[in-house]
Amino acid sequence: MIRNRPLYLGLALALFSFVFGCAALADDFTSPRSAEPSGLIGQRFLTLNTIVRVRQIEVSRDLAFGPDESSVHTPAEARTFREAIEAAWPGARITWAFSWLALHDTRDSYRELRELVVSYRKKFGDEITFIPGAYFSNMYNTREQVNRDLHEGLQRVSAMVGNGYRPQCVIAGFLSADNLRYLAEEEGIHVCQGNIWSQYAVDNGDGDGSICYPYYPSREHFCKPSQGTEDFIDIVNLDGWSVDFLCARVPGRRTVDGELWRSRQGVGPIETLLDMGTERGLKSMLATTSAHFDDGFQRNGFAWVTCGWEMSLVEARKIYGYGGRNGMDGLHLWLTEIRNRWPDARLITQGEFGELWRAHFKNNEELDYQFLHRGCGIRASQEKLEIRWFMNRDFRLALLKDRTENNESKVIDFTRYDLPAKEPADPELGKHARNWSLMNRINQKGLRPQDQPVPLMELPFEEQSLIQKHYPELFAPGAKTK
């Protein structure tokens, strides 16, 4: 027996190393809890991401504009934010996206912040990923440069987390079709927050024209759903924020009767909690949530609400004012109320949600999203108005109606996806390409002469036929007043 001791010791050490290694990997990766239901249909999902950056607008790796936000990107803010979520929704999993500068900043505060977020991956199962350009990277960078940033940024994230970690999703604001294709084919990532539905004339980039629920993008334009195998990109394109469908009609912001109408009013904190205060802001957030989790759930078979809560907003009052508010009370109340009203709802990472959708839908052929939203009475979400949205592979269609009058609905958006589309060229050095929108027939913002509301029956015959193929009930007798 003594002669074989080295052999037994070697086997014991090998077994110990194997078990320890498996334990380390298990500690690093927290899979969805076995008690959770699987699949997409019949479920309500909430996704929440936060952006960790250094400057408000990070144009490239070494050029940035806007306020320096480093004073509100410390472990203290991250801890406040994450603990507020866990207190309101135990077991929630969120997505953290680091900008290039935040990944490489050598200050102690950023080093400690990165270590803390990695610990949240281990503790909660959070997703950690990369955001190129800290939103809208294609506005300032060539597609080739964006691909380099994606490749090296993702490598940096993997090294930061360790144990062979790889995120399922990338956050981008909006991302060109070529770069989405690169993510899918070269990086093996098949989920991207790659569009911001209704984004136009708001802040730093325009990208209106997509549908607001997941879809596979076309190789022609990131806002256009793929029309078939010839232009298919195997990546799930996700919206960035769920917004009030009535507010989304506003181009940017404007003052009406002393009230500030903002197109991004929905579940995001800037236009709600920070702008209007907790009580009124929370009412707006819940109205938008309800549009998906109640009526939308019944129409679509599943429901999804998504929100980007930039980490700079945890203590935004220090930089941006916002009336001394930081929105954390409202975040807690919003999440708590969602759990009370819709106890089956799941708060998971964006990568997890996108992969669930991808497992159910193999292409865009069966897409048929429908929404009905009645105004909540706050600002542009006028109580008297009702809007219906229809979204599929061929087009998106919006019908607006004044419920206080016995009149017919009018078309305020008809964006055709069966028509050719083209993205802007790469920006020239020192310049930027701001407008990446897909606008053709009629757009909800109403900025062009052709965007005037029109009765459905006054559309050209060809377009009526296209709509009728999908929704014949809109052309049934009496449908115009429904």
User: Could you read off the pLDDT of 85-102 as tens digits, one per residue?
Assistant: 999 999 999 999 999 999
Nearest Cα to Cα of residue 369 among 194, 193, 210, 226: 210
User: Could you read off the pLDDT of 442-453 as tens digits, one per residue?
Assistant: 999 999 999 999
Mean pLDDT of 113-122: 98
φ/ψ (deg, to 5) at 189: -105, 130
Model pLDDT, residue 320: 86
User: Could you read off the pLDDT of 147-157 as tens digits, one per residue?
Assistant: 999 999 999 99
Q: Are residues 95 and 232 in the same domain?
A: yes
**Amino acid letter, 122:** K
Q: What CATH number does residue 91 fall under?
A: 3.20.20.510
**Residue 109 above 50 pLDDT?**
yes
Q: Would residue 280 count as lying in a domain?
A: no
Q: Which of 360, 379, 404 is the last residue of a domain?
A: 360
Q: Which of 330, 360, 390 is the last residue of a domain?
A: 360
Q: What's the total number of domains in the chain?
A: 2
Model pLDDT, residue 36: 72
Among residues of the chain, what percentage have pLDDT more than 90? 82
**Residue 30 above 80 pLDDT?**
no
In 29-142, alpha helices (H) = 75-88, 100-104, 108-124
Q: In the structure encoding, which two tokens stand for residue 446, read together?
A: 């109403």
Distance in angstroms (rounded) separating the CA atoms of residues 467 and 482: 17
Helix (H) or strand (E) holding 156: helix 143-161
Confidence band of 203 (pLDDT split at 50, 70, 90): confident
Nearest Cα to Cα of residue 70 among 96, 99, 95: 99
Range of the domain at 118: 42-242+300-360
Q: Measure the CA angle with vertex 279, ends 347 and 135; round to 5°.
A: 50
Q: Are residues 213 and 332 in the same domain?
A: yes
User: Could you read off the pLDDT of 279-310 as tens digits, one per residue?
Assistant: 999 999 999 999 999 999 999 999 999 999 99
Bridge partners for 371 per DSSP: 389
Q: In the structure encoding, which two tokens stand for residue 36, read together?
A: 């959770």
Q: Are residues 152 and 197 in the same domain?
A: yes
Bridge partners for 127 per DSSP: 95
Model pLDDT, residue 304: 98
Q: Are residues 351 and 460 in the same domain?
A: no
Model pLDDT, residue 324: 80
Q: Is 97 helix (H, G, I), strand (E, B) or coil?
A: strand
Distance in angstroms (rounded) separating the CA atoms of residues 170 and 349: 11
Distance in angstroms (rounded) separating the CA atoms of residues 325 and 328: 8
Q: Are residues 222 and 306 in the same domain?
A: yes
Which pairing describes strands 385-392 and 395-402: parallel, antiparallel, or unpaired? antiparallel
Q: Are residues 201 and 318 in the same domain?
A: yes
Q: Are residues 233 and 346 in the same domain?
A: yes
Q: Would residue 291 count as lying in a domain?
A: no
Q: Are residues 56 and 205 in the same domain?
A: yes
Tell me 442's DSSP state.
B
Q: Are residues 427 and 342 in the same domain?
A: no
Q: Would residue 4 count as lying in a domain?
A: no
Q: Would residue 270 count as lying in a domain?
A: no
Q: What CATH number does residue 382 fall under?
A: 3.30.1120.110
Most confident of 204-208, 224-228, 315-319: 224-228
Q: Would residue 285 count as lying in a domain?
A: no
Ranking 8-22, 228-242, 343-357 by mean pLDDT, the lowest is 8-22
**Amino acid letter, 361:** F
- 28/441: higher pLDDT: 441
Q: Which of 326, 360, 394 is the last residue of a domain?
A: 360
Q: Are residues 348 and 383 in the same domain?
A: no
First to last CA, the chain: 88
